[in-house]
Structure 1
Amino acid sequence: MSAEKSTHSLDKQATPIESEHVEVLPVEPPRNEKYDSHGATDLETGDGGAYSTHSLHFIFTVIGCSFALCGSQIFPLLYLTLTTTVAKELNAQDLTIWLFTASYIAMGALAPFIGPLADLIGRKSLFNIGLLVSVVGSVVCAATPNAPGFIAGQILLGAGAVTQELLAIAVIAEIVPTSRRPLYAVIALSSIIPWSPGSLYANWMTQSSWRWIGCTLALWNALTLAILVIFYRPPPRVNSLGLSRRELIARIDFVGGALLTIGLVFVLLALSWGGQQYAWTSAHVLSFLLLGFALMFAFVAWEFFGAKYPLFPRRIVKAPRPFFCMLFVIFAAGINYVPLVVFWPIEGIAVFGADHHQNGIYTLPIGIGILGGAILSAFLLHLFKKHITLVMTMFCVMQTVASASLAAVDPHNVATAIPAICFALIGVGGVLVPNQVIITVLTPPDLIASVTALTVALRAQTQVIGLAIFYNRFVAKVTEGGYKLVAPAMIRAGVYDPDVIFNLVEGMSAVPYSTIARGIPELMADPVAYQVVGEVALQSFAAAFKLIYYITIAFGVPACVAAAFMGDVGKYMDENVAVKL
């Protein structure tokens, strides 16, 4: 009987009265429990499953959101694998960490504002602004003559990408029944399939010029913007009806966002300086590190006790145990994403001696593996709604074991690394994106964008911190190997200029040893010295990468435990639709 009732609910035409019940609800005074940020009551009505998959607006809205999600994912795929190459061409190796992290800092800083703002004033205007910013950022990255310009372009791309990803997930999540969200996640991710060899495309474009990447991204985001401007027509937001612009702005927690963003930047600076420009015990590092964490703790205290309208209201958590377990899994997967996407391309050049054409092939698993893992995981979650915990645990174990296995690869044989890197990337893809969709099931419908903002901000901020940690340890280990192994070998080969030795070690992160060595006459004149220096340089880099993969265990194992104790999430997946187009 209940099944018939549910089917009838899906097929019936919503009357005007029913639509008004969901979308045109008058705003009551601020102390009404439905809108009280500290209350426990949530908005659970929705359209009861009334949505039409045959509507042209629905179809093209899903396509537009799919394209927007694709645009937010392919820009780091195209650029991150070439950051050391861009830094070398722009003569800015000392700014490499900022070339890596600029976009992620922008994403982490803006996500807390984008979500609540979208829940208050609606999705479309923010969506359009985000896509326009992405187009401008792409053009800036393509045209800039220097590193500061490239960093500015990356900041704009990060700001646009976080808006695209957040709103694409939120819009699709709210226009389909909760039980079908994993299936529509598969549909949304499908547009990334042609872009999954993005690292290969990027390396091949670099043979002409890496600036073509920006041109490509600008065209893709412009097409997405056109689709959504024409076809995405959402109803007015429940939250904003009856509120003035000043009242809307007053509900955005600028203080909390500022505390979180400044704290994150301070921690990033400390992690970047420690052991490099300054000692870990120096006043520079300790003061920024302590102040950064203090600001983050102040953010938490402000959200709980000070903010009248916090960025993430307490009622965002309907089921605490699975909710916080998912957040921790996203946190750990976000950190373990870094060595696979950022450092594997460097390893292909520095250890396995790949040129851009070869490295494009070596990095193929990055896009294909993450996308394949995300689609496979989402499809399994759709099929096995009662076994979400088991599916998530399986992917967490896969990413943890495979990432750690990379520490045991043979530095002289790239084939030993390919299986491990493929399984690790599938595991990361299977954890990150589907979890961001599933967590919307555990949240009131009127806060879907806010919870999506929370997951995107958490992932971006942990990736920034993770990248700083990994990059710091990587540089320290390579420097140690340079002093102990490379420098003595080059001196024995007759190379005494410290700048030549330094440039060799630094340059190997972007250019193969064989290419750099051609510019050092002493090495080219002595085949034995050429071979010896190449081997010790390889060993120095191999030891640094091994350390990075060991660090991933510290985050992967707790994530596996958190996934295993997530509990039953399937009971929250029903036929409710938050918004009918």
Structure 2
Amino acid sequence: MTKQRKLIVTIALFIATFMSAIEGTIVTTAMPTIISSLDGLSVMNWVFSIYLLMSAIMTPIYGKLADLKGRKIIFIIGILFFIIGSSLCGLSQSMEFLIFSRAIQGIGAGSILPLSLTIIADLYTAEERANIMGLNNAAWGIASIIAPLLGGMIVQYLNWHWIFLINVPIGIIVIGMVFFGLKENRNNFNSVGKLDIKGAALLMIFLLLFLYAFQLFGDQGFKAPVFLLLIISVIILLLFIRIEKVTENPIISPKLFNSKSVLIINCVTLCVSGFLTGIDVYTPMWLQTLNGSSATLSGLALAPMSIFWMVGSFLAGKLLSRLEVKKILLIGSSLLFVSTIIYSIYPISTPYFVFCIIGVLLGIGFGMSITTSAVAIQESVETKLVGSATSLNTLFRTLGQSIMVAIYGTVLNMSMNSEMTKYPQIHQEDLNRFMNVQEVHNVPTGILQSLRSIMYNGLHHIFITSVVIMLLSLVFLLLWKAKNTNKNEKNEK
């Protein structure tokens, strides 16, 4: 491939990342307004979780299809699903239809991250890859700065429906650039073999039941249906692993399950990604409800984290040639652990600028952790398993987000419901209006302080939960007797 075509494809991947970042940040910034507009606080978690659920289910399937049919066609199909889902989200007039549309959007989103990283691995050497991923995170950072401003302006001056419709022109541009820029030799993919239908079906059923169990947990708590779904999903997972061991062309190679380094890195990725969800969703909610910040300003508080995410990524790229993967991940996880401890002790009157300052630590920690995990996973396996390993790592990121959305939602609802029993004069409708900066002026002034107390109690418990999650990440790393993570590890048992 010529340098010009490589540049076009790389920019297209950056734009796709930009689109994903726009999606995540705009939705979290506008969520209080959406909840108030569609009266959907009780099912708020499903707007996030159905998107993550479908993305998680499709991620390994896209990865394997890309190995069979080529990166180009599968990536374009994924973007088309994303565009269709975004259009339907923009037309939503009810919470139920929005959730349905987010499911379609999630089907498309499952292709963006794993295939972008796989294409980067195809185009660049290991030495170049960390820097390219750093630039890719730069696209994420730029989007994360623009998205809160754009999302806030749309919510305040237009309509929240447009936060989804903005993805349509961006997606069309990405499709055009990849279609004309990426050239592949189809013969390289035709010889791979047939898709493992049994393995794909079992994996999809496992993910559906497992993640649905966590969504039920978020809605109902740990009751009999949740326990039953978890038991069934574990049985299906064991059956899936057994079948994959004897399948000629498995969806996920058994070698990946046998690698201790791959397992540890993926578990750390799960914890870090879950914590990231808490920061993205509940920081704007804190600032809008407790500080009275506008949607624009509350989203902009995430900008320092996004900017210094780039710094952390480039720092990880430099350190990968000098330090063991374990040490870099320990540095990144430690920064995140310190940050979430600070979050957990915030008083109700925490100034806006404090969130921005801690965002610097968060950004460096996330940049080092996520970038190091992605490169280390690709370098820990044989070349022919890079696509599968990348998809597996992406799957763990999505699993972490999906699981923690449910856990955080449960913690928030339980805490707020418990606190509301102290204020019998307050109703759910009051809480819905309080969460919308455009409606809060309609809330009687006599109950505003009580509503602030209820919200603070719920958000405070969210970040205490985050402390536990990041402590678990550090435990995984401290128990890991790591060797140098490189291609020689491919035979690790």
> Does TM-score exceed 0.5, indicating one fold?
yes
The Cα offsets for residues 190-230 of structure 1, whole Å up to 9 and x where unpaired, read as 33343121223211210121122222211111111100000
2:243 maps to what in 1? Answer: 306
1:504 maps to 2:430: yes
Cα distance in 1, alignment partners of residues 488 and 175 from structure 2: 31
Among candidates 345, 358, 361, match of residue 420 of structure 1: 358
Q: TM-score, normalised by structure 2?
A: 0.90
Amino acid at match of 2:365: G
1:452 maps to what in 2? Answer: 390
1:543 maps to 2:457: yes
The Cα offsets for residues 423-480 of structure 1, whole Å up to 9 and x where unpaired, read as 2344234323441233111122222222222122222122112111111111111122
Confirm or deny: 8 A CA contact 1:436 1:452 kept in the other structure.
Answer: yes
The Cα offsets for residues 6-28 of structure 1, whole Å up to 9 and x where unpaired, read as xxxxxxxxxxxxxxxxxxxxxxx
Confirm or deny: 8 A CA contact 2:60 2:388 kept in the other structure.
Answer: yes
Confirm or deny: 8 A CA contact 1:116 1:252 kept in the other structure.
Answer: no
1:91 maps to what in 2? Answer: 39
1:269 maps to what in 2? Answer: 216
Q: Kindly indicate which of the two structures has a greater share of residues assigned to helix.
A: 2
Among candidates 545, 550, 567, match of residue 482 of structure 2: 567
Amino acid at match of 1:134: F
CA drift of 1:242 comes to 7.5
Unmatched runs of 5 consecutive residues or more in structure 2: none
Tell me the C-alpha RMSD between the 2 structures.
Answer: 2.5
1:330 maps to 2:269: yes
The Cα offsets for residues 140-178 of structure 1, whole Å up to 9 and x where unpaired, read as 111222222222221222222220111011000122112
Q: In structure 2, the residue corresponding to 1:395 is in which secondary structure?
A: helix
Unmatched runs of 5 consecutive residues or more in structure 1: 1-51, 275-279, 491-497, 524-529, 575-581
CA drift of 1:94 comes to 2.9
The Cα offsets for residues 81-112 of structure 1, whole Å up to 9 and x where unpaired, read as 22232122123333212112121111111112
2:299 maps to what in 1? Answer: 363
1:465 maps to what in 2? Answer: 403
1:554 maps to 2:487: no
Change (3 A) 1:223 1:200: same
Change (3 A) 1:326 1:80: same
Higher gyration radius (CA):
1
Cα distance in 2, alignment partners of residues 506 and 566 from structure 1: 49
Q: In structure 2, the residue corresponding to 1:545 is in which secondary structure?
A: helix
1:224 maps to what in 2? Answer: 174
Among candidates 139, 142, 148, match of residue 194 of structure 1: 142
Cα distance in 2, alignment partners of residues 237 and 561 from structure 1: 45
Cα distance in 1, alignment partners of residues 227 and 380 from structure 2: 34
Q: How does 1:86-125 map to 2 (within 5 A)?
A: 86-125=34-73
1:135 maps to what in 2? Answer: 83
Amino acid at match of 2:41: Q
Confirm or deny: 8 A CA contact 1:138 1:214 kept in the other structure.
Answer: yes
Amino acid at match of 2:254: R
Change (3 A) 1:558 1:550: same
Change (3 A) 1:343 1:506: same
Change (3 A) 1:337 1:65: same
Q: How does 1:371-386 map to 2 (within 5 A)?
A: 372-386=308-322
Confirm or deny: 8 A CA contact 1:326 1:566 kept in the other structure.
Answer: no
2:373 maps to what in 1? Answer: 435
Number of residue-to-residue matches in the alignment: 481
Cα distance in 2, alignment partners of residues 190 and 242 from structure 1: 34
Confirm or deny: 8 A CA contact 1:78 1:199 kept in the other structure.
Answer: yes
Confirm or deny: 8 A CA contact 2:337 2:470 kept in the other structure.
Answer: yes
The Cα offsets for residues 314-350 of structure 1, whole Å up to 9 and x where unpaired, read as 22368x2322221111011122112211111111122
Change (3 A) 1:384 1:425: closer
Cα distance in 2, alignment partners of residues 560 and 150 from structure 1: 37
Identify the range of structure 1 (395-404 vs 231-240) with the bigger mean alpha-carbon deviation.
Answer: 231-240
Q: In structure 1, the residue corresponding to 2:56 is in which secondary structure?
A: helix
Change (3 A) 1:133 1:369: same
Cα distance in 2, alignment partners of residues 395 and 242 from structure 1: 37
Cα distance in 1, alignment partners of residues 485 and 393 from structure 2: 20
Amino acid at match of 1:333: V
Q: How does 1:258-297 map to 2 (within 5 A)?
A: 258-274=205-221, 280=222, 285-286=223-224, 288-297=225-234
1:12 maps to what in 2? Answer: none
1:184 maps to 2:110: no
2:4 maps to what in 1? Answer: 56
Identity %: 15
Cα distance in 1, alignment partners of residues 140 and 197 from structure 2: 38
Q: TM-score, normalised by structure 1?
A: 0.77
Q: In structure 2, the residue corresponding to 1:209 is in which secondary structure?
A: coil
Identify the range of structure 1 (134-143 vs 501-510) with the bigger mean alpha-carbon deviation.
Answer: 501-510
Confirm or deny: 8 A CA contact 1:386 1:569 kept in the other structure.
Answer: no
